Every structure is written in structure tokens, then in C-alpha cells.
A and B are shown apart, each in its own frame.
Chain A
């Protein structure tokens, strides 16, 4: 991502840029306009689907937008900062629930991204060398990424059923690890269930990116290290992981944003009312707006979330870019 902040290397004036003749002038106007024209479709779509709706969403967050007013939201009364003060009043149940949901989401995101990255990297490193069946395994590992989300998650929900599910059949009936069959879709374990599904679905993406990144590490580095007498683990620590740094910087950020905002997984797994322990913020906001017809409060919560993510991403980019630059020297 840092690439975008600096002018790309090797940009130069294209031939024909320097004449005052009319024809050349059109050429110049054209050339100034060209990059903008290239960006125009993307920009328009972003405006239509992301930016303008977001501005409207921000406006809505200052309105009292309940079922009494949704028919004509423009005419809904202004609520000032009421929706915000309701959302951040952490002593009252609404704010308390939001804060709880926020912490749950943070914990979930950190664990999920961490595990996805760990599984993906480990698998990619193990599969760096060719061995028999590697292509086949790689194909299998990509299945979770390719299955439609609904199909995959509904299957997990089926497996997590307490009385008839596979998970308890294995843990309780066959291995005898638990005294009684555990609940996975309600209560505290639902956090674990959500995490398992999220990791199952997310790690192949990390695997792909890291696997691809590994291919770019020059062979010579390993050869040199081997001559120095570095063992397998040392090679991984001293060459593989540092070389993956730029890949990881982006991978972790993208995984973080996707996981944090993930709506589909908890929605399919738990339905409209997620258990407290797995009450992710996206579901929580859905419940505070769509299910209870209160779009003003829902929008206010979304705006708060957006602000948080902006700050985290900004800090992350500044920190990792600095680290990266230092490492490159």
C-alpha cells in the first residue's frame, strides 16, 4: 500500500509533450486529462456505491430515524448527537452492549487474523518444496475459499449442533473429552465456534498470498545461508520471514478489515440474534437498525466504527511502513 503514496518509479514525459503547435496542444490537454479519464469510471462507482451512501449514512446518524419517520427520512426530525450519546453511554444497556460487542469483535479479529496468518504461513512454508501430491493438496486447501459462504457456514452450524452435530459426536461420544455434550451455538462456546468457522474460511486466502510471496525469494539467499551453516529453522527465521514482510503488511491489514466487518459468517451461523459471547459488531449494528427499526442509532454506531477503523489503519500503516523502510536499508 505504501506504493500508492509515492510516485511510481520511471514516470516520465511521453514523447511529443513539448511542442507549441495546436495539434500538440490538444495532445497535451489530452495527456493531462487522460489519467483522470482512466480513473473516472472507478471514481464514479465509488461515489455511487460507497461515498455518497456513506455521506447519507452520516447524515442519518444525526436523525431520529425510527419506523415513524422512515417513510420520508428527509423529513425525520434532527436528533443532534442523541444517537451518539446513546451509543457511547457505556453505563446504560445500549452503550454497554455496544462496548461489549466492540471488545468481542476486537478479540475475535485479533485471534482470527492471527490464526489465519499462522496456518497460511505454516502451510505455505511446508509446501515450499515440491513433494508428491503437492499440487493436489494445494487444490484441496483452496476449497474453503471457493465454497459459497452461505453453504459453508450453514454446514458448520449443522456440525455444531449440540445433540446431533459432528463436533460433539467426536469430542464427547468418541473421544470422551467432555463430561456432557457442550453447546456451541449458544453460550460462551459460540465464540469458539465463530472463530473456527472464520479461520476455516479465511486461512486459504492467507495461504495463497504467502505461498505466492515465497516464490519471489531469491534462491541465492538460501544457498548463501546454507553455506554459512544455517539450519532449516534458522533459514526460515532469517530469510523467509523477513522476505515476507511486505506481503504480510498488506495481508494482515486486508484480513483485519474483512474480519472486523464480516457480516455473513455470524449472520448465517447464529441468525438475527447472535449470542452475547459472539455478538460481532456488524451483527450488533444490524440488530440495532434493521431488526429494531432504528436507523439513526445504527448509523451512529457505524460511523463510530468507521472512525475507529480509520484510526487503526492509519496507525498501522505509519508503524509498518516505518518498520519496513528500516528493514529495507
Chain B
């Protein structure tokens, strides 16, 4: 479902700011020197980006006694053994599922909550608005280490008082991560919603929609790219977090980010398996990410420019 088909269905044609993915072509023909410098720069950059990916791949195909040996560009004695062993050394599949659940749920809730908040800020004038936005943004400045232990204590005490197990459970982790991504998500969506013309919601309300109806029938469809952008950002925030996950998870809820450390045991580091596992878990994320990137690009435009 592309953003354009969605927006066409729900809103009048003229109003949706369409952004072509191809950037405006500079009318002047680029000089040769520019083309050459571009070629060199982009080649070097590609090398820089792909180098670690190559190392991951080649190391993941070596037997353990070779992998920590001297680096060679062309590895010899390749084996796919690590790709089999990764599943039994640590419960990788379980960690993967945990990470998917946690990051997925955190993403969904973060996006929904951010949509509400951003809509409130962009469409209404009310007391405390400025305080709200400033406070929310200032949370980005808190060093994680400052609230790790207090948050942990709060979760445990909520658990003791209400029986809702926040600590050690996926719910606790989901709450934590969705709040991590919330400030930036709200801020981006405010910008995006403001670029959706206001007469659209009003037209919807004249047609009998309530404010929430206007939000979901008009504003959200028009803002799909921005929402996708926020979703990707929220997902990545939850996917890679190490510190909170190391304290707040247990055997059954451990996420990948900390679970991968299980390949380093007291006496040995299974480098080849670390690399193999990293690649295996990254493939779906990278694939999904690449599928979504056209929305992301279009989405960030509006959010960031406002």
C-alpha cells in the first residue's frame, strides 16, 4: 500500500503535498570535475560502510581456531558450521522473538501515542502546551544511567503494589523503550501534521467526523510517510538498546542486544558465532528497513523542515 494510493482515497487531490523521490535536477550540467569527485567520494564511502559487513561475513564462515587468527582478505577453509551452532550455543531464536515482540510493540504504542500528542499540539491552543513540548524534549538530555536504578525500583514497587509484573517482563521493557523514542517521535510528527492543511480536518468535521475521526480519516492517512519514519526510528531505538535490557530482562525475556553477549563465555569468545548470529538477526531488519526507506525519506522531509 503506497502512500499515494492511501492519500488519494481519503483526501482531495490538491491538498496532499506529493514529493517525488527523485530530487530536483540541477539545471546546469555538472562539470567533469564534479562527476569525478563524486565517483571517488562515493566509492570511498561505500568501502567504509561495507568494510565491517565484509568482516562479519568472512569471519562468520571460519572455524573457531581460524577466526581469531591473522586477518586475511580471502579467507580459506570456510565452513557453515557457525551458522548451525549459533542456535544451540544460546537460545538465539528465543532472543530474536523477544526482540521482535519488544521492539514491535514499543514501536506500535510509541507511534500511536505520539500521533495523539502531536495532533493535540499541532491542532489546539491550550495552557501548558509550551511546558509540555519543552519538558518532553528535555527528556532527551537525561543520561540513561541517571534513571536506570530509580526506574528499576519503580517497576519493582509497582509490581509489589499492583501485581503487574513490569520488572523482568516484556511489558516493562516495552514501556521503557516506547518512552525513549516518544520525544523525538512527537516532535517529528508535530512538524508533519502541521504541513497537512487545516481546512482538511475542518471539512471532515463538517461532514460529521469528531476530532478523532478527523485525525484518523484525514490527518493520519496524509501523514503516512512521516509515521513510517517515526516507526522505523522507534523500532531501531528499541532493537539496539543494551544497558536497560541487561538489567531488566531475565532468561525468558532477554533481548538480542544483550543475548548476543552470550557467545562470550568466561573462557572463550565464539567470534565466528557472534558474527554469524549478528548477520542472521540483521538480515530481516535490514530488509524491512530497505523496503520502508522510500517512505522514510519522504517522511523526514516534512518533519524536519518545519
User: Which residues from chain A sit less than 8 Å from chain B, CB to CB?
Assistant: 1, 3-5, 7-11, 14-15, 32, 34-39, 41-43, 45-46, 48-54, 56-57, 60, 73, 119, 122-123, 126-130, 137-152, 154-156, 158-159, 163-166, 169, 200, 204, 208-209, 211-219, 222-223, 226, 231-232, 235, 246-247, 250-251, 254, 257, 261, 263-264, 267-268, 281-282, 285-286, 289-290, 295, 298-299, 302-303, 305-306, 309-310, 313
Ordered by A's residue number, 25 sampled pairs between the chains whose C-beta atoms are within 8 Å are A1-B187, A14-B205, A15-B206, A36-B120, A39-B120, A42-B186, A54-B150, A56-B153, A122-B41, A141-B49, A142-B290, A143-B286, A148-B282, A149-B257, A154-B274, A169-B70, A204-B49, A209-B304, A215-B21, A219-B25, A232-B26, A251-B304, A254-B140, A261-B141, A303-B146
* Interface residue SS majority, chain A: helix
| Complex Cα spacing A35 to B145, Å | 33
Asked whether any CB of chain A lies closer than 8 Å to the CB of B8, the reply is no
| Residue in A122, A226, A257 whose beta carbon sits within 8 Å of that of B141 in the complex | A257
**Known contacts A56-B153, A154-B274, A212-B297; is-contact A159 B55 (Cβ 8 Å):** yes
B301 to A216, Cβ gap below 8 A?
A: yes
Q: How far is the CB of B302 from chain A (nearest CB, A)?
A: 8
Please indicate the chain A residues that have their CB under 8 angstroms from the CB of B137 in the complex: 1, 4
Asked whether any CB of chain A lies closer than 8 Å to the CB of B61, the reply is no
Q: Render B95-108 as a binary contact track against A, CB cut-off 8 A, 1 for contact.
A: 00000000000000
Which 8 pairs of residues, A with B, have the shortest CB-CB distance? Answer: A151-B278, A38-B120, A53-B147, A302-B146, A56-B150, A53-B150, A4-B133, A149-B240
Please indicate the chain A residues that have their CB under 8 angstroms from the CB of B139 in the complex: 46, 50-51
B119 to A119, Cβ gap below 8 A?
A: no
User: Which residues from chain B sit less than 8 Å from chain A, CB to CB?
Assistant: 19-28, 30-31, 34, 38, 41-42, 45-46, 48-53, 55-56, 59, 68-71, 113-114, 116-117, 119-126, 129-130, 132-147, 149-151, 153-154, 175-176, 178-180, 182-184, 186-187, 190-191, 194, 198, 202, 205-206, 211, 236, 239-243, 256-258, 260-261, 271, 274-275, 277-279, 281-282, 285-286, 289-290, 293, 296-301, 304-306
**Known contacts A150-B261, A209-B304, A235-B26; is-contact A141 B45 (Cβ 8 Å):** yes
A212 to B301, Cβ gap below 8 A?
A: yes
A285 to B143, Cβ gap below 8 A?
A: yes
| Residue in B144, B150, B176, B186 whose beta carbon sits within 8 Å of that of A52 in the complex | B150
Q: How far is the CB of B203 from chain A (nearest CB, A)?
A: 11
Besides A39-B120, A200-B49, A310-B141, 7 other A-B contacts (C-beta < 8 A): A8-B125, A11-B123, A129-B23, A142-B293, A215-B297, A257-B140, A257-B141
Q: How far is the CB of B62 from chain A (nearest CB, A)?
A: 12
B260 to A150, Cβ gap below 8 A?
A: yes
User: Nearest A residue to B256 by beta-carbon distance?
Assistant: A148
B23 to A263, Cβ gap below 8 A?
A: no
Q: Which of B114, B126, B256 has the most CB of A within 10 A?
A: B126
| Complex Cα spacing A154 to B257, Å | 11
Q: How far is the CB of B169 from chain A (nearest CB, A)?
A: 15
| Complex Cα spacing A154 to B132, Å | 39
Please indicate the chain A residues that have their CB under 8 angstroms from the CB of B23 in the complex: 127-130, 211, 214-215
Please indicate the chain A residues that have their CB under 8 angstroms from the CB of B290 in the complex: 139, 142, 146
| Residue in B52, B120, B241 whose beta carbon sits within 8 Å of that of A35 in the complex | B120
A306 to B145, Cβ gap below 8 A?
A: no
| Complex Cα spacing A208 to B239, Å | 19
User: Nearest A residue to B166 by beta-carbon distance?
Assistant: A48
| Complex Cα spacing A3 to B22, Å | 28
B286 to A50, Cβ gap below 8 A?
A: no
User: Nearest A residue to B214 by beta-carbon distance?
Assistant: A14
User: Nearest B residue to A308 by beta-carbon distance?
Assistant: B141
| Complex Cα spacing A147 to B256, Å | 12
B25 to A232, Cβ gap below 8 A?
A: no
| Complex Cα spacing A126 to B41, Å | 9
Please indicate the chain B residues that have their CB under 8 angstroms from the CB of A129 in the complex: 23, 25-26, 30
| Complex Cα spacing A213 to B191, Å | 13
Please indicate the chain A residues that have their CB under 8 angstroms from the CB of B187 in the complex: 1, 4
Q: How far is the CB of A104 from chain B (nearest CB, A)?
A: 15
